[in-house]
Amino acid sequence: MSEGKKYPYDYAKAEALRIIELIGHHCDRIAIAGSIRRERAEVGDIEIVCIPKTVMGGLFSDEPMRDPGYCSEVNSMTKIKGEPTGKYTQRISSNGINVDIFMATHENWGVIMAIRTGSAAFSAMRIAARWSQLGYHSQGGILYKNGEAFQVAEESELFKMLGIPWIEPNMREIT
């Protein structure tokens, strides 16, 4: 496990791209988030946000389920916690780096991507504090206000909704 260990940006990004190659064809959408997206010189873990594909259940079910190929590829990495059928799982890559995978939906991609890009302080102090100030709350990556759900499919929509000018990921730091 890579607990506390830091990796050079280029090494971590190459590993993140390898993981995206592994699971990406089982996703409707996938992207690198976290400190790699913010282009930090040193990276403690890999954060990936994805929208896994769904397929119809087997012979005895017509319920949609997570693509079994996606689940298989995620399960090929050593598990720390969570399942590929949930909203979050943490794994260890074959190169020993912790990998956090956040499963979003088309309706909450913008919120999940913004929060998971971080930094943690930026997400808390600029984004979440602002939506609270405007009367929103988040549940499952969906923003609600006065009982009404608001879909946020893109990060830029979230920034606009919150009245925050777009901030490039590499500038999202609060020290």
Q: What's the pLDDT tens digit per position in 163-175?
A: 999 999 999 988 6
Q: Which residues pair with 100 in a beta bridge?
A: 47, 90
3-state secondary structure of 85: coil
Judgement on whether residues 85 and 118 belong to the same structural domain of the protein: no
Judgement on whether residues 98 and 118 belong to the same structural domain of the protein: no
Phi first, then psi, for residue 78 (nearest 5°) are: -65, 130
Of 103, 120, 143, the one marking the end of a domain is 103
Mind giving me the DSSP string for 5-70? Answer: --EEHHHHHHHHHHHHHHHGGGEEEEEE-HHHHTT-SEES-EEEEEEE-EEE--TT--SEEE-HHH
Judgement on whether residues 123 and 37 belong to the same structural domain of the protein: no
pLDDT value, residue 1: 44
Structural domain boundaries, residue 54:
7-103
Would you tell me how many other CB atoms lie within 10 Å of the CB of residue 56? 9
pLDDT value, residue 3: 59
Q: Which amino acid would we find at residue 28? A: D
pLDDT value, residue 61: 64
- Whether the link from the prior residue into 123 is cis, omega within 30° of 0, is no
Judgement on whether residues 77 and 160 belong to the same structural domain of the protein: no
In the chain, the number of structural domains is 2
pTM, whole model, 2 decimals?
A: 0.93
Structure confidence by residue, pLDDT tens digits, 104-145: 999 999 999 999 999 999 999 999 999 999 999 999 999 999
